[in-house]
Structure 1
Amino acid sequence: MLATLIERAARGDTVELNLTGDRVIGRWAHIIRRRFPAAETLSEQARDDIASLASTLRLVPADTPCPVLDELFRGRPGLTSVAVEGPDGRLGLIMRERFLLVMSGAFGYGRPLSSRQTVAEITDWHPLVLLAGTSVLTAAQRLRTRPREARYDDVIVSDGDTRLSSVSAALLLDTLTERLSAKVIRDELTGLANRAHFLEQLEAACIDASDPDQPGPRVVVAFIDLDHMKKINDSFGHHVGDVVLTSLAARLAAVAKEDELVARLGGDEFAVLTRLPEEAGEHEAKEIGDRYRAAAAETDPAVPPAARTKASVGVATSGAQADAETVLSAADMAMYRAKQAGGDDVVTVLGVDAGLPGDVEQVDRSVRQAIAGDELRLVYQPIVRIQDRSVVSVEALVRWEHPRLGRLSPDRFLPGAERTGQMPALDRWVLRTACADLVALTERLGDAAPPSVNVNVSTRTLTTPFDETVLDVLAETGLPPDRLRLELPETADLTLLGGAHARLERLREAGVHLTLDDMGAGSTTLRHLSTLTVHGMKIDQVFVAGMLENPRDHTVVKLLTDLGHGLQLRVTAEGVETAAQLEALAALGVEHAQGWHLGRPAPLEDLAAALAAG
């Protein structure tokens, strides 16, 4: 029936098929797809189907007398259009309003004048015809390319077989407006609320909770972060990572109560916004966190068993003066503490007020003041040779002795220092202090002092003239360059390291040792080995922690060890917490290790005493 139309299109004749948008009905649809592949892209990219908006469309022959169609339209007031099938296979459309206007005529004589006409004479033979599966957005875009007089005509929708339906232009445009509005507040991957909408609702909730005349319920934020998500992406690829994220989103949404807003903030970070009465305490806050933690721990058949993971949850409740940034940051830091405790856990923080000492953002902004106020301290964790347990180096780790909050671990202030651009200043302080401490320790202990000190370098510092800083500090403190080991972060990508390559080479040539930190934790670190000349590598503690129970982790540790040996690098395993782990590492040929089983981070005086005692 439509064979003529197909052949005309194949010859390149001008027909209203427009193979990047319009569609035809019947068993010939697959021919169009095969001959003109571009025509299929519209339905492939569709996420919302215009067929869901369409109504059944009446098809009439082109030789139908106008009075017959007139009677059909007048007998069915809700019928907005009919499709017309021409003898040559063409498909046309007649709009109700336009037809009835013709029937009325300029002076009311339209019906008598049209009594002998067929509908073919007043049919629009260039309608917009789309296959079911075309998106609302695509359909709306095609409407805009139509002639002005036909721009608001119905759109014919074909199922690719025999069924025709139609959708009005007005409904298409209204639906598009609604869906675009939804996209503004929805995360594209998961369908949850997005970060912008979450923050907007959080701000509104905090304003309501802080109303001086009639304060509303306390604001509660649960911050949810998947454990080991980076490892999943690196091991299985981001397509599996997306499955994990969408699966988690569905489970979180399933346990959410009616008054709880669940959002994806970005990456593997999710958050929940809700309210609790003023008298609610830790039990109620923890119940919220436990509910979402349990949902994250549920298994989903869609997720490969080896890619299943759990989540760390931090829950913060507002005090009398709720502040959106403060509550969210407090929940974020609580989540980090849950993660530091081993993950799959909930940590709560109650009564977070704007401007109180516990305000994490206030802590973030004060790192420079902490340096000036001599509030920072270094602790040192030994790195030992497994064979004889001798200390071959110590890693310098920073702590903050806050005058009001007490000792703060790095997870409390390093994220904020990173966000606010203060890491280079912090790195300089750590470098200068660590070098000076090792010089002092050597003067005090002689050969019993550690041969070297490991100092971490942040990604922000790698974008600065850090080579000048390092060489100046070495000259200032008198520490020989070969006693300094700089640990390069796993988070540094190849572009960043490429920009820092010349500076790193300058330090290496001066005698400074370079070590790649957290090997295996990211997809880029292995590539670093082909672009940088380094002296050592440290195997990420995630693999060490799981190597006795998980054959995959054991294999990763062995592969990294063999790789390091092949490149003549000093291999160090991080996070060794048990004798069994140490024994397994030794069996794989790992020469060096650090972790709580071998020595916890300790202040300089405690380290000196331990080294002096042998």
Structure 2
Amino acid sequence: MKQLVHEQRLSELLVDFARTLVTDFPIQAILDRLTSRILEVLPVTGAGVMLMGSDSDLHFASASDKVLLQIEGLQVELGEGPCLEAYRTGQRVLISDMGADKRFPRFGPRAVESGVAAVFGFPMRIDGRQIGAVDLYRDKPGALSADEVAAGQILADVAAAYIVNARGRVASQEAEEEQRYRALHDPLTALPNRTLLYDRIAHALSRARREPAVPAVLCIDLDRFKVINNSLGHRAGDRLLVAVTERLQQALRPGDTLARLGGDEFVVLCDDLAEAGQALSLAGRISNELTSPFQLDDEEVVITASIGMAYAREGHETPEILLQDADTAMYRAKEQGGARYEVIDEQVRSQAQQRLGRENDLRRAIERDELRLVYQPIVSATDGKLQGMEALLRWQHPRRGLLLPADFLPLAEETGLIVPIGAWVLTQACEALQRWRHHTGAEALRLSVNMSALQLARPDFVVSVAATLHDTGTDAAQVCLEVTEHVLVDEGPEVLRTLDELKELGIGLAIDDFGTGYCSLTYLKRVPADTVKVDRTFVAGLGSDQQDTAIVTAVVNLAHSLGMTVVAEGVETPTQLARTRELGCDLVQGYHLFRPLEGADFAALVNS
């Protein structure tokens, strides 16, 4: 009868443990439950569990009372004891009289002093390894029966299986939480990302419909961050972003949300403003926080920010609209010189909508075949013979008529549309060059095409240029890519590497608008260019302005000393043409010689 009752209690305990497989019991709770229930099944006065980690350090400990919990920890502290021995060896350790046992000379006396008379250690085994051990205690000496020892080992092994299951569940939950966190936060700064920000803005807008709180959004863009990033390196740029994050957080109020949307763009959500003026105060605090220099290793960096603000209003049904307004205000601040903040107003909003319309028009211009090229001849300054041509872009807008590059290229740069447009220009120009090859002298002409900073920054740019030359059958030596001096100064070493790779293809390189970008002589020496184009603003003063004449003279002498060809742009009068010859310019182009020609007209010129 006694054996039957014992087996029934053991079965009940195992069933109770099985229920933990479908619960969210944490590991500590499972251990605590085991140590309390064991006393109902086996003739012992106390129980303890020691759970070890993969590093063999104690991760969890549980006991049926505080004294025994200390005994469990004491074994780890002393490095010996029946529970620790069972874990290490995978064998049961049965001590019926702790006072007479000599196996653990340091642990034994301390245990006896605490009232422990007998200890039975059972390894928690699974898949041929131990994850811990169960200790059963008695306050009087005496052995366990064979059935009781077997039951103790069963409990230890079953508990091991349940613990491993719980560990797997915890690991899975932690992985899910980590994945969820990564999906909603910026990896560099740990700030909320766009997804989480949109969710919080949506909640703020929803609450604003029920309460008098005024939500506001501030878009923050760091001024000149790209220059710092290029000059000091991306790692320094990342450290600066982290440091800026810490400064911005100091300026916020409790409850404000600071998010990073990417690059150097941050957003602050204030969802409980009592009045609109509080956002202005916050913008002022943010600007003040950024005034102190940042220390990046040995470099001291000073940075400012352009801030745009938008308040929730009627019509802000979605986070996208509110953010768009704040972004528009931020760009207005940048247009005003940066280091300032602007608030969206109806005039700014109207301008933004017009800009969006122009952007959409430009996006569809290629599809609608609205873009076209004209070609301005480039001739020898000495004898006027045709040497090449520059491909110039025009946009035949369906409503606004013929647009020159100044009317739409800045927008193309801002929106990134310059990349597909630039690729289209190179392809069309190369195809035109091949069509003219059968004309006398066309094979000796050199085609010049302008390149933007965004194109040069793309990692696949050189590959795409090579593919265009191959697909159109164009000889690389007949193509000259023009890069403005400003691009060389602003974009840094990455552009130089790209130019070197283009030069290796056999393509000619020209520095356009030379003299306007403060390019140092050392930097000019490193650029693999073979042509310098004197900016039209200096050519315009030839014959009337001594300073312009001196500048052009210096540019010609410098370029020739470096083995470069000099092209004078914007030659519009006989006097300017004569002076460019006298100063030694090699090639000239401008309205005095030829206006930009349609493709058919240029073909006729070559043929003549």
Report the TM-score when normalising by structure 1.
0.52
Structure 1 position 22 matched with structure 2 position 46: no
SS in 1 for 2:189: coil
Question: Shift of the alpha carbon at 1:562?
Answer: 0.8
- Give the aligned residue type for 1:496: F
What is the count of residue pairs matched by the alignment? 425
Q: Deviations over 1:535-592 (max 9, x none)?
A: 3354899x977x6xxxxxx7xx33321123x65342778999xx99x97995894778
Change in Cα spacing, 1:258 to 1:589, as seen in structure 2 (3 Å) is farther
Q: Distance in 2 between matches of 1:513 and 1:331?
A: 42
- Give the aligned residue type for 2:466: H
Work out whether residues 316 and 331 of structure 1, in 8 Å CA contact, stay in contact via their aligned partners in 2: yes
Q: Distance in 2 between matches of 1:589 and 1:218?
A: 61
Work out whether residues 486 and 512 of structure 1, in 8 Å CA contact, stay in contact via their aligned partners in 2: no
Q: Distance in 1 between matches of 2:179 and 2:261?
A: 19
Structure 1 position 487 matched with structure 2 position 447: no
SS in 2 for 1:326: helix
Q: Deviations over 1:131-180 (max 9, x none)?
A: xxxxxxxxxxxxxxx952442799xxxxxxxxxxxxxx999888777666
SS in 2 for 1:187: coil
Q: Distance in 1 between matches of 2:122 and 2:390?
A: 93
Work out whether residues 293 and 301 of structure 2, in 8 Å CA contact, stay in contact via their aligned partners in 1: no
Work out whether residues 561 and 589 of structure 1, in 8 Å CA contact, stay in contact via their aligned partners in 2: no
Change in Cα spacing, 1:337 to 1:319, as seen in structure 2 (3 Å) is same
Change in Cα spacing, 1:352 to 1:316, as seen in structure 2 (3 Å) is farther
Find the counterpart in structure 1 of residue 289 from structure 2. 295
Q: Distance in 1 between matches of 2:410 and 2:510?
A: 23
SS in 2 for 1:358: helix
Question: Shift of the alpha carbon at 1:195?
Answer: 1.9
Q: Within 5 A, what are the aligned runs for 1:126-275? A: 126-127=130-131, 148-151=161-164, 181-209=180-208, 211=209, 214=210, 217=213, 219-275=215-271
Pick from 335, 353, 361 the counterpart of residue 358 of structure 1. 353
Question: Shift of the alpha carbon at 1:192?
Answer: 1.5
Find the counterpart in structure 1 of residue 532 from structure 2. 570
Change in Cα spacing, 1:537 to 1:89, as seen in structure 2 (3 Å) is farther
Q: Which blocks of at least 5 consecutive residues in structure 2 are unaligned?
A: 1-50, 87-93, 96-114, 134-158, 379-388, 401-405, 539-546, 560-565, 571-589, 596-608
- Give the aligned residue type for 2:500: S
Question: Shift of the alpha carbon at 1:182?
Answer: 4.2
Work out whether residues 85 and 91 of structure 1, in 8 Å CA contact, stay in contact via their aligned partners in 2: no
Pick from 464, 469, 475 the counterpart of residue 499 of structure 1. 464
Change in Cα spacing, 1:219 to 1:288, as seen in structure 2 (3 Å) is same
Question: Shift of the alpha carbon at 1:198?
Answer: 1.1
Q: Deviations over 1:400-442 (max 9, x none)?
A: 9998xxx987666654463xxx964xx3xxxxxxxxxxxxxxx
Work out whether residues 315 and 346 of structure 1, in 8 Å CA contact, stay in contact via their aligned partners in 2: yes
SS in 1 for 2:191: coil
Pick from 485, 508, 522 the counterpart of residue 535 of structure 1. 508
Q: Distance in 1 between matches of 2:302 and 2:363?
A: 41
Change in Cα spacing, 1:531 to 1:147, as seen in structure 2 (3 Å) is farther
Change in Cα spacing, 1:179 to 1:528, as seen in structure 2 (3 Å) is closer
Question: Shift of the alpha carbon at 1:467?
Answer: 1.8
Structure 1 position 514 matched with structure 2 position 481: yes
Change in Cα spacing, 1:183 to 1:335, as seen in structure 2 (3 Å) is same
Q: Distance in 2 between matches of 1:574 and 1:288?
A: 46
CA RMSD of aligned residues (A): 6.0
SS in 2 for 1:191: coil
Find the counterpart in structure 1 of residue 583 from structure 2. none
- Give the aligned residue type for 2:524: T
| Larger gyration radius, structure 1 or structure 2 | 2
Q: Distance in 1 between matches of 2:132 and 2:536?
A: 64
Find the counterpart in structure 2 of residue 106 from structure 1. none
- Give the aligned residue type for 1:22: D
Work out whether residues 251 and 282 of structure 2, in 8 Å CA contact, stay in contact via their aligned partners in 1: no
Question: Shift of the alpha carbon at 1:79?
Answer: 7.3
Work out whether residues 319 and 353 of structure 1, in 8 Å CA contact, stay in contact via their aligned partners in 2: no
Q: Which blocks of at least 5 consecutive residues in structure 1 are unaligned?
A: 1-15, 26-53, 59-69, 96-101, 104-113, 130-145, 155-168, 384-391, 428-456, 548-553, 596-606
Q: Distance in 1 between matches of 2:196 and 2:468?
A: 43
Change in Cα spacing, 1:308 to 1:350, as seen in structure 2 (3 Å) is same
Q: Within 5 A, what are the aligned runs for 1:262-341? A: 262-275=258-271, 280=276, 286-302=280-296, 304-322=298-316, 323-341=318-336
Find the counterpart in structure 2 of residue 526 from structure 1. 496
Work out whether residues 193 and 263 of structure 1, in 8 Å CA contact, stay in contact via their aligned partners in 2: yes
Question: Shift of the alpha carbon at 1:346?
Answer: 2.6
Find the counterpart in structure 2 of residue 346 from structure 1. 341
Q: Distance in 2 between matches of 1:262 and 1:338?
A: 20
Work out whether residues 326 and 354 of structure 1, in 8 Å CA contact, stay in contact via their aligned partners in 2: no
Q: Distance in 2 between matches of 1:394 and 1:413?
A: 17
Change in Cα spacing, 1:304 to 1:313, as seen in structure 2 (3 Å) is farther
Structure 1 position 467 matched with structure 2 position 480: no
- Give the aligned residue type for 2:119: T
Change in Cα spacing, 1:116 to 1:126, as seen in structure 2 (3 Å) is same
Q: Distance in 2 between matches of 1:93 and 1:153?
A: 22
Work out whether residues 535 and 568 of structure 2, in 8 Å CA contact, stay in contact via their aligned partners in 1: yes
Q: Distance in 1 between matches of 2:315 and 2:361?
A: 21
Q: Deviations over 1:482-516 (max 9, x none)?
A: 46433254544343321331324755658442124
Work out whether residues 519 and 525 of structure 1, in 8 Å CA contact, stay in contact via their aligned partners in 2: yes
Work out whether residues 199 and 324 of structure 1, in 8 Å CA contact, stay in contact via their aligned partners in 2: yes
Q: Distance in 2 between matches of 1:201 and 1:344?
A: 27
Q: Distance in 2 between matches of 1:497 and 1:276?
A: 51
Q: Deviations over 1:321-360 (max 9, x none)?
A: 0142233234334433433444323333235999997276
- Give the aligned residue type for 1:519: L
Work out whether residues 434 and 474 of structure 2, in 8 Å CA contact, stay in contact via their aligned partners in 1: no
Work out whether residues 480 and 510 of structure 2, in 8 Å CA contact, stay in contact via their aligned partners in 1: no
Change in Cα spacing, 1:408 to 1:216, as seen in structure 2 (3 Å) is farther
- Give the aligned residue type for 2:266: F
Aligned residues: percent identity?
20
Report the TM-score when normalising by structure 2.
0.52
Pick from 512, 522, 528 the counterpart of residue 559 of structure 1. 522
Work out whether residues 123 and 132 of structure 2, in 8 Å CA contact, stay in contact via their aligned partners in 1: no
Change in Cα spacing, 1:226 to 1:206, as seen in structure 2 (3 Å) is same
Question: Shift of the alpha carbon at 1:197?
Answer: 0.7
Q: Within 5 A, what are the aligned runs for 1:377-388? A: none
Q: Within 5 A, what are the aligned runs for 1:70-89? A: 73-75=64-66, 82=73, 84-85=75-76
Q: Within 5 A, what are the aligned runs for 1:91-110? A: none
Work out whether residues 260 and 273 of structure 1, in 8 Å CA contact, stay in contact via their aligned partners in 2: yes
Q: Distance in 1 between matches of 2:567 and 2:291?
A: 35
Change in Cα spacing, 1:376 to 1:513, as seen in structure 2 (3 Å) is closer
Q: Distance in 1 between matches of 2:211 and 2:357?
A: 25
SS in 1 for 2:451: strand
